[in-house]
Amino acid sequence: MTELTSLDAGHGGETHQTADADHPVLTTNHGTPVSDNQNQLKAGPRGPVLLEDEVYREKINHFDHERIPERIVHARGSAAHGYFECTESLADITVADLFQKKGQRTDVFTRFSTVAGGAGSIDTPRDVRGFAVKFYTREGNWDLVGNNIPVFFIQDAIKFPDLIHAAKMEADRGYPQAATAHDTFWDFISLMPESTHMIMWAMSDRTLPRTFANMEGFGVHTFRFINKAGKSTFVKFHWKPKAGLASTIWDETVKIAGADPDFQRRDLFERIERGDYPEWELGLQLFDEEFANSQPYDVLDATKIIPEEVLPVRIVGKMVLNRYPDNYFAETEQAAFVPSHVVPGIGFSNDPLLQGRLFSYTDTQLSRLGSVNFHQLPINSAKGRAEAAGCPFMNQQRDGHMQMAVPKGRANYEPNSLAKAGEPGGAREDAKGGYKTFPSDEEGPKLRVRPESFADHYSHARLFFRSMDPAEQAHIASALVFELSKVSLEHIRLQMLANLRNVDESLATRVADGLAMDLPLASPTAAPVLDMAPSPALRIIRGPLERHTLEGRNVGILIADGTDAGELNALKKAIKAAGGHAMTIAPKVGKVPLSDGSAIAADAQLFGQPSVTVDACAVILSEKAAGKLVKEGAAVQWVMDAFGHLKAIGANAAAKPLLDKAGVEADEGVTDLGGFVEAAKKRYWDREPNVRTLA
Ligand code: HDE
């Protein structure tokens, strides 16, 4: 028998755990030791409860106020701590402290999120992912608050509330949650041609990332670097995942949402626990005014990219996430990312979307975190500066809700002559090292206009679609058919089809055909649509960041009573040697008797671990177990989904009846156990036309 834990019996069958050398004394928030955490104070054992019970009242009172308003967008997210390492000095381009010396490390906190769903929604809707990095530099915090897509839906921040209202659940009915496949979203998009490029990305596999570790990240806007001489260089930021880009199939994504709504945050947690630290390279596109002026689009327009083939990405650092937060609320939920938080050497461009964001984020923290002192929360505190200079901040700002600091001295204004040495009231300007804004020449009439250079809404959408692998093009067309089929109002569908004709005639035709609708006339364009050179760097499938590997990936092995112990152990060893993570899955989890008389506990149970949760699937069964499992829906579905989701399937001979029942056809990705580890390193895109109809 296993002893569970020590419980002291009290009155009436209640149980208590008592403080000892390893377990500190429980106290109230004001430090009073608590004698009983199980019972309210009553007038007699069966009497009414007394209002004077401060232990109870404080506990419930705190609980009643535990929630804070969730983020209005990017509410659902997960984060990790880690470090950024500079791998190439940029001292000639920027004075930013973190880029000065090769090998220099800066702590980071990085949060990934979905955009539209609430905090309690799923990890895997079709949605853009936020990719927000807080660098704790020695000269203050720099927040690079980006997405996993390098462009955005709108060109001007004033439209953001409309975009988000249209995307979130509809105002009257309160659904759908975390989904763009509904009337109001597509109504807005159909009337907003500047969204078309972003829509190509949103309908592509980019919005179905397999894990956070398999996403690129982008700063989106053009920023500035400023060097010692005061010279400015334009910069666009890119994060390139070491694990490569990888996405899921739509049907797989939908099933993951049911099987494990926390799929991506669990993956992040488990990767870090295993020591498979997610890692990205930081890349830069650096350019000057002359380059900007030579391009057929405006670099201030966040609906445009600079193709990597035109301006290569220069790798200057890496980010490793190696520590999961100790407390989700204190760190992930209370983290406040603010794009206007930059450090000396980094500045802004006039991108009107970026400029609008510079106001919004501090403002939202005030309603979310409820205090101007949100910079004092441990996760937001400038700990890099604290380490370098002995304090996270120094100024004469005072008071406000939840003031945590106790600043000493009389002087709380500046200039002053009263502050004693070291007192915060004595903090003074640093004309040389302090933050300096790049003194760009700005002049012009006050106007509410969009520059003419922003008028082309379709060339980059066309560039993106035509750069895709044929499989990806089919996914985009099918996603559009799916989303528009959920749109009930015909005029919205027609307007979308009219817009798509400006992107690519074949795309519009495929979508119209998928909806069984006639193509309307193309919508008018504000500028000629250009045929730009395709950019293969934009592909996931057969693109430069598609990695054929098992490193960091999960392999499910379906086993049952009588599974051959030798085959199982050899496969587990081979998976580990290839850097993968093997997970045994069985109809009963506690004990699986193997062929050699031994028994193991399975890692997961068949119903709870459908094959959508793993990257490749092996099946090792005895003849008897295979005979039983052909009549088990979950087992048949396990194999059928693996095949339908284009995964490698490796099986021993006895498992064949199960594969046959699941409709598995022979192809390159279906192997015996010997060939499986090699086969498991990729998906089989060529199988797709055999398993589903795509638009
Ligand atoms: Fe955000 N966005 N955003 N956004 N955004 C917020 O700030 C906003 C935009 C992004 O993990 C909010 O703290 C406006 C682009 C991320 O905590 C809010 C506009 C990009 C996160 C806000 C944009 C982003 C946010 C809500 C139009 C990619 C999550 C909660 C100009 C470059 C950060 C919060 C985290 C969060 C406003 C557009 C990325 C309301 C006005 C473009 C990753 O301030």
Alpha helices in 468-583 (DSSP H): 470-485, 490-503, 505-515, 565-577
Cα of 500 from ligand 1 centre, angstroms: 28
Q: Give per-residue pLDDT as tens, 360-418.
A: 999 999 999 999 999 999 999 999 999 999 999 999 999 999 999 999 999 999 999 99
Q: What is the pLDDT of residue 56?
A: 94
DSSP 3-state of 586: strand
End-to-end Cα distance, the chain: 59
| C-beta of residue 186 within 8 angstroms of C-beta of residue 483 | yes
Averaged pLDDT, 235-239 = 98
Measured by CA distance, the residue closest to atom 20 of ligand 1 is 146
Is the model's pLDDT at 135 over the cut of 80? yes
Q: How far apart are CA 248 and CA 46, in angstroms?
A: 58
Cβ-based burial of 89 (10 A; exposed 0-12, middle 13-18, buried ≥19) = middle
Query: Could you give the CA distance from residue 314 to residue 341 in angstroms, rounded to a whole number?
Result: 24
For ligand 1, is residue 132 a contact (CB within 6 Å)?
A: yes
Strand order in the sheet with 581-586: 604-605, 581-586, 554-558, 616-619, 649-651, 670-671
Give residue 146's identity as a one-letter amino acid code: G
Average pLDDT of the residues in 83-96 = 98
**Among 71, 72, 73, 201, which is best to mutate for testing ligand 1, by the most ligand atoms less than 8 A from CB?**
73
CA of 612 to the centre of ligand 1 (A): 30
Q: Is the CB of 635 under 6 A from ligand 1?
A: no
Nearest-CA neighbor of 616 among 645, 589, 591? 645
Q: Which two tokens stand for residue 436?
A: 């300096």
Candidates 159, 360, 368, 379: which one to mutate for ligand 1, based on the most atoms within 8 Å of Cβ?
A: 360
Q: Buried b / exposed e across 666-677, counting CB within 10 Å, b at 16+?
A: eeebbbebeebb
The sign of the CA dihedral 605, 609, 614, 618 is positive
The sign of the dihedral angle between the CA atoms of 9, 11, 17, 20 is negative
CA 229–ligand 1 middle distance (angstroms): 33
pTM: 0.96
ω into residue 534 within 30 of 0, thus cis? no
- Ligand 1 atom with the smallest distance to the CA of 145 is 43
**Cα four-point dihedral sign 267, 272, 274, 278:** positive
Supply the pLDDT for residue 12: 79
Mean pLDDT of the chain: 96
> Whole-angstrom Cα distance, residue 127 to residue 76?
12
Q: Are 339 and 355 in contact (CB under 8 A)?
A: no
Q: What is the rounded distance in angstroms from the CA atom of residue 242 to the CA atom of residue 15?
A: 50
Query: pLDDT per residue over 596-605, tens digit each?
Result: 999 999 999 9
Contact 595 CB / ligand 1 (< 6 Å):
no
For 582, the token pair is 């093997």
Nearest Cα residue to atom 28 of ligand 1: 146
Q: In ligand 1, which atom is closest to the CA atom of 302? A: 42
User: What is d(CA 83, CA 103) in angstroms, rounded to the nearest whole number?
Assistant: 11
Asked if residue 1 has pLDDT above 50, the reply is: no
Assess whether pLDDT exceeds 80 at residue 4: no
CA–CA dist 386, 136 (Å, integer)? 9
**Alpha-helix residue ranges (DSSP H) falling in 303-351:** none
Q: What is the rounded (10 degree) CA torsion for 325, 326, 331, 332?
A: 50
20, 187, 196, 459, 525 from 501: Cα distances, Å: 73, 17, 11, 12, 11
| Residue where the block lists tokens 């088990």 | 632
Tokens 């994060």 locate to 239
Query: What pLDDT is attached to residue 5?
Result: 58
Lookup: tokens for 686: 């060529």
Q: Rounded to an integer, what is the distance from CA 185 to the centroid of its chain?
A: 21
Segment 508-536 mean pLDDT: 98
Given a cut of 50, whether residue 546 has pLDDT beyond it is: yes
| DSSP tag of 669 | T
